[in-house]
């Protein structure tokens, strides 16, 4: 269980260059592409150097998971501060690159025991935060849609549309988007209570 091998430090520039490369591959190729050889090639480095910075490939992927989660949290908070938070949240969930990444991470969670917990934890946290925020927004708009159900359906729909579109499968997408648009308009239509200036 000890790690007798020498290891690079957490903050190093080279280290994050490997994480960059891994994230890029995950976005463009999917998790099938994340191998020690391919990641280090993309980073322009020797494969063995990767193992100076990461004990195993799982460790590298974990670093990617953590970074992806941080970025997602930042965008989430920005969305809440936007003029139409509900629509912005929908747009975040529908972002092609982000949704693809999410889908790949789910796939990874399915196949790599060691990473599952972290991925599930961060997905759960993100879902819970969205439910909380949407719940607040809906009650401000005096709408009694069930927030948790709406968030769940929106998340599932957004990711599926992005994933399928990437494959060229678009049957039913337009019709579903029309429903989303109708709901968004319905909610925005009711003037929200003016938020008290902080």
Partner DNA sequence: GTCTATACATTGATAGAC
Partner DNA sequence: GTCTATCAATGTATAGAC
Residues of this chain that bind DNA (CB under 7 A): 4-6, 8-9, 12, 14, 34-38, 45-49, 51-52, 55-58
Report how far Cα 79 is from the mean position of its chain's Cα atoms.
Answer: 14
What is the rounded distance in angstroms from the CA atom of residue 94 to the CA atom of residue 71?
Answer: 15
Give min distance, CB of 165 to its own copies, in A. Answer: 11
What is the rounded distance in angstroms from the CA atom of residue 42 to the CA atom of residue 21?
Answer: 6
Residues found near its own copies in the complex (CB under 8 A) = 30, 32, 106-107, 109-111, 116, 119-120, 123-124, 127-128, 131, 146-149, 151-153, 155-157, 159-161, 163-164, 166-169, 171-176, 178-179
Residue 6, SS3?
Answer: coil
Q: With the CA atoms of 183, 188, 193 and 197 taken in that order, what torsion angle do they form, in degrees rounded to the nearest 10?
A: 120
- Break the chain down into helix, strand, coil percent, rounded to 5: 75, 0, 25
- Residue 183 has a CB neighbour count (10 Å cut-off) of 17
Cβ-based nearer residue to its own copies, 67 or 127? 127
Cβ-based nearer residue to DNA, 29 or 179? 29
Task: Tell me which of its own copies, DNA, none is bound by residue 149, counting a contact when its beta carbon lies within the kind-specific cut-off of 5 to 8 angstroms.
Answer: its own copies
Give min distance, CB of 116 to its own copies, in A. Answer: 6
Give min distance, CB of 4 to its own copies, in A. Answer: 29
Helices (H) and strands (E) in the chain — how many of each? 9, 0
Task: Tell me which of DNA, its own copies, none is bound by residue 159, counting a contact when its beta carbon lies within the kind-specific cut-off of 5 to 8 angstroms.
Answer: its own copies
């Amino acid at each position: 269980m000890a790690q007798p091998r020498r290891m690079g430090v957490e903050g190093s520039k080279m280290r994050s260059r490997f994480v960059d490369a891994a994230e890029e591959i995950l976005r463009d190729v999917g998790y099938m592409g994340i191998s020690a050889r391919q990641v280090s090639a993309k980073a322009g480095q020797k494969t063995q150097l990767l193992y100076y910075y990461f004990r195993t490939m799982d460790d590298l992927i974990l670093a990617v998971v953590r970074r992806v989660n941080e970025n997602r949290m930042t965008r989430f908070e920005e969305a809440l501060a936007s003029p139409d938070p509900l629509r912005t949240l929908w747009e975040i969930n529908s972002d092609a690159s982000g949704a693809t990444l999410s889908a790949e991470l789910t796939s990874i969670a399915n196949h790599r025991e060691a990473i599952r917990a972290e991925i599930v934890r961060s997905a759960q946290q993100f879902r819970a935060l969205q439910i909380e925020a949407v719940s607040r927004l809906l009650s401000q708009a005096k709408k009694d849609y069930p927030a948790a159900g709406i968030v769940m359906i929106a998340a599932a729909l957004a990711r599926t549309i992005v994933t399928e579109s990437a494959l060229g499968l678009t049957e039913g997408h337009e019709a579903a988007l029309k429903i989303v648009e109708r709901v968004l308009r319905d909610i925005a239509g009711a003037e929200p209570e003016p938020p008290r200036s902080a």
